[in-house]
Amino acid sequence: MTDMTAPADSLPLVRFEAITKHFGGTVALAGVTFEVRHGETLGLLGSNGAGKSTLIKILSGMQPQTGGDILIEGVPQTLDSPVDARDCGIVTVHQNIDDGVVFGMTVAENLVLDNLSVAGGNPWMPYGRVRRQAAAILEELDFDLPLDVPVEQLSASGRQEVSIARALVKKPKLLILDEPTSTLSARESERLFERVAAMQARGIAILYVSHRMSDIQRLCHRAVVLRNGQVVSNHDAPLDARAITVSILGEIALAPAFESRTGRETVLSGEGLRVSRHGPAFDVSFRRGEIVGLTGLVGAGKTELLEQFYGARPLVSGKLELLGQPFEPRDQPDALAHGIAMVPEERAAQSIFPGEQLTTHASIGRLDRFSTAGIMQRSEEVAFARKVISDFHVRCPGHEAPIEALSGGNQQKLLVGRWLADEREVMILDEPFRGIDIGARSVIAKALRAYSENTAVIVCSSDPEEVIEVADRVLVMRDGEIVCDIASSEISAEQLADIMSAAPPSQAHPTTMETNSVH
C-alpha cells in the first residue's frame, strides 16, 4: 500500500462550502461541505445517484452549482468552464469516456487536443507535427497507445487511457478521476495505480470516485461518503471498508451467500467456436437454471464471443446449437426471436436514446406487449416502467424524466432491469455491474438468481470478484480462448485473476489482488 501520510499544508487546495445543486425539482446536492488538501488522494464514495458525478461536474466547470462556494487555495472561484478549472489546476477524467474523445480523429490527434486550445503558438500543425507531439506525450507519461488508429477503434479502456494521458500532461494540481477502473482489467488497473502513485509522489492531489472498495483502500489517504447529496461521513486512513460501506448504504443489505447450482438441461452450446479467424477453437455450453460468469482481461475476446450468440457479429467458425437445434442468428432480431437477449456493455453508445423518457427506454425492446394492432397502450407501458423503477430501486425524478437526468448507475439499473421481465432461453449480460454500487449490485444479483431458474444466464465481467459473487460456474477467457471452466464455489477471485492474466511463473505478476471486499 502507498504511503498514507498526506503532506500537510495550511490552506486546503479545494474547499466546497455548502454546495447545492437542483435539477428542476430534484435536489442532487443538498449542501456539501468538505475539502481536498494539497497532495492527498481523497476517495469520494456514495451509492448510485448520491451526487458524486454532479459534484465533479461542478468542480470541473461543466455545470454551475445552484448555491454555495468553491474555494481554491482559500480564494472563492467561479468555475464557468473547463478552461477556468484547468487554469486553477484542476483536470478531470469523466465517467462517460466518450465525452472525452473525438471520434473520427486518430489517437494522436486526440492526444494533442489540449495543445490546440492553447491560444497563440504556432498554428502550423501538419499531421507529422501532431504525431511528434503525441509521441512525446506518450513518451513522457510512459503510455503505450497506437498513434494512427482512429480513436473509435480503441476499446473503451483504450479510449479512457487517451483521456487520462491528456489529463496528466496538463500537470494538474488536482486530478479528478470519476470511476476510472470501471472499464479496466486488473492488469490495466494496476498500471493506472502505478501512475496514481507516481502522481502522488509528485504531490498532485487526486479526487478519486469509485465503487470499488479495494481501489479506495489501496490508493486513498482519506475518504468522504455522500448520501442523498450530503456528506455523511469522513474517513481517515487506515480506511475501514465495513464502516464505509455502512455509511454508503445506510445499512448493509448484501446478497446472502447462495448455494452453487449445476443447472439443468443444456440450452445453448457451441463447438469449434473462435473469437477471431486465426484464434484457437473451443467449445462451450450453457444450461438452464445456472448463471455462468465469463471473465477475462479487457480485450480477451469476451464481447466478441457473446456477440456471436446474439447475432451482433457473424459466427467466426464452428456451430451453435440452441435447444438441440442447429442455430445461427442472422442478426439481433433473429436471436431475440429465438429467445436470446443481450445487454451490451457500452451504455452510452449501445443503450441510450438521447433525450428519451425512462418509459421509452423501459419499453422499447418489448413494444409488442404494449400495443394492440400497433397502437401503443400508454398506461400499460407506464405501469411497466414504474415496476422496473421500483423493483430495481432506480432513483429518478419520475418515469417521464429523460434518461440523462439519471446518474450513471441508475441508468444501468433501469437498462438491465428492463430485460428481466420476460423469460428467455438465454440471457447475456455484458458488464452489467459497470458503475453500480454495492447495494444495487446485490439487488441485481438477487434478481438474476431468480431469473435464472428458467433461463441460462451469462454474466460477463472483467472483474473476477463480481463474477464470483453472482455466478454458479465460471469461464475464464484468455487471448481468445476459454482456458478455465469451474464451479464458482471451487475458486477464489485471486485465483481467477491469476488465470486471467496467466502470469508465467518466471515473470512474477505485479499484483496480488487486494481483496478487502465487503462480503
Partner 1 sequence: MSTDIQSSPAERATPYSKDAITHFIYRYGLLVVLALMIVVFSIAHPFFGTFANAMFILQASAIVAVVGLGCTISMTVGGFDLAVGATMSLVVMVAAGAMVIYGFSGPVAILLGLAAGLLAGLLNAMLIVYARIPDLVATLAAQFLVSGTTLLAVNGQSISEGMSLGTTSATGTFAPIFKWLGSGYVFGVHSSVIVAGLVFLAVFALLNLTKWGRIFYAIGGNPVAAAAVGIPVRRYRIIAYLLSGLLSAVAGLLLVARSNRGDVSVGDAYLLQAVSAALVGYAVLGANRANAFGTLIGAVFVATLINGLTMFNFPYYAQTFVQGLLLGVALLMSYTLGPKSKR
Ligand X SMILES: Nc1ncnc2c1ncn2[C@@H]1O[C@H](COP(=O)(O)OP(=O)(O)OP(=O)(O)O)[C@@H](O)[C@H]1O
- Partner whose footprint covers residue 497, from Mg ion, ligand X, partner 1, none (CB < 5 to 8 Å by kind): none
* Residue 106 Cβ vs partner 1, minimum distance, rounded to whole Å: 9
Strand partners, 26: 23
* Residue 297 Cβ vs ligand X, minimum distance, rounded to whole Å: 7
Those residues with Cβ within 8 angstroms of residue 318's Cβ, 6 or more apart along the chain or in another chain: 270, 271, 272, 273, 274, 281, 283
Is there binding between residue 289 and partner 1 (CB under 8 A)? no
* Residue 57 Cβ vs Mg ion, minimum distance, rounded to whole Å: 9
Is there binding between residue 298 and partner 1 (CB under 8 A)? yes
Is there binding between residue 158 and Mg ion (CB under 5 A)? no
Task: Give residues 283-302 in contact with Mg ion (rule: CB under 5 A).
Answer: 302
Its sign, for the CA torsion 146, 152, 153, 157, is positive
| Residue 405: other Cβ atoms inside 10 A | 18
* Window of 11-19, 40-48, 173-181, 350-358 that interacts with partner 1 by CB under 8 A: 350-358
Q: Provide the CB-side half-sphere exposure for 80 (13 A, CA).
A: 0
- Partner whose footprint covers residue 197, from ligand X, partner 1, Mg ion, none (CB < 5 to 8 Å by kind): none
Contact 325, 267 (CB under 8 A): no
Is there binding between residue 511 and partner 1 (CB under 8 A)? no
Residue with smaller CB distance to Mg ion, 53 or 110: 53
83 exposed, middle or buried (CB, 10 Å; 0-12, 13-18, 19+)? Answer: exposed
Its sign, for the CA torsion 91, 93, 97, 103, is positive
Is there binding between residue 214 and Mg ion (CB under 5 A)? no
Residue with smaller CB distance to partner 1, 19 or 297: 297
CA–CA distance, 10 with 8 (Å, rounded to integer): 7
Q: What is the DSSP string of 223-274?
A: EEEEETTEEEEEEESSP-HHHHHHHHHSS--PPPP------SSEEEEEEEE-
Is there binding between residue 439 and ligand X (CB under 6 A)? no
List alpha helices for 452-492, DSSP H: 464-470
* Phi/psi of residue 58, nearest 5 degrees: -65, -45
Task: Give residues 309-328 in contact with partner 1 (rule: CB under 8 A).
Answer: 312
Those residues with Cβ within 8 angstroms of residue 223's Cβ, 6 or more apart along the chain or in another chain: 42, 43, 44, 45, 216, 234, 235, 239, 244
Is there binding between residue 139 and partner 1 (CB under 8 A)? no
Is there binding between residue 367 and partner 1 (CB under 8 A)? yes
Residue with smaller CB distance to ligand X, 6 or 224: 224
- Partner whose footprint covers residue 49, from partner 1, Mg ion, ligand X, none (CB < 5 to 8 Å by kind): ligand X
The correct pick among 39, 49, 89, 344 for binding ligand X (CB under 6 A) is 49
Does residue 270 sit in helix, strand or coil? Answer: strand
- Partner whose footprint covers residue 50, from ligand X, partner 1, Mg ion, none (CB < 5 to 8 Å by kind): ligand X
Which cell numbers in the block locate residue 140?
A: 513522457
Is there binding between residue 158 and partner 1 (CB under 8 A)? yes
DSSP code, position 7: P
Torsion angle in degrees (nearest 10) through CA of 140, 144, 148, 154: -130
* Window of 262-270, 381-389, 404-412, 489-497 that interacts with ligand X by CB under 6 A: 404-412
Angle at 277 between CA 348 and CA 501, to 5 degrees: 65
Is there binding between residue 434 and ligand X (CB under 6 A)? no
Is there binding between residue 405 and ligand X (CB under 6 A)? yes
* Window of 66-74, 155-163, 250-258, 441-449 that interacts with ligand X by CB under 6 A: 155-163
**Residues that bind ligand X in the complex, under the rule CB under 6 A:** 23, 26, 28, 46, 48-54, 153, 155-157, 296, 298-304, 345, 395-397, 404-410, 435, 462
**Residues that bind Mg ion in the complex, under the rule CB under 5 A:** 53, 95, 302-303, 345, 407-408
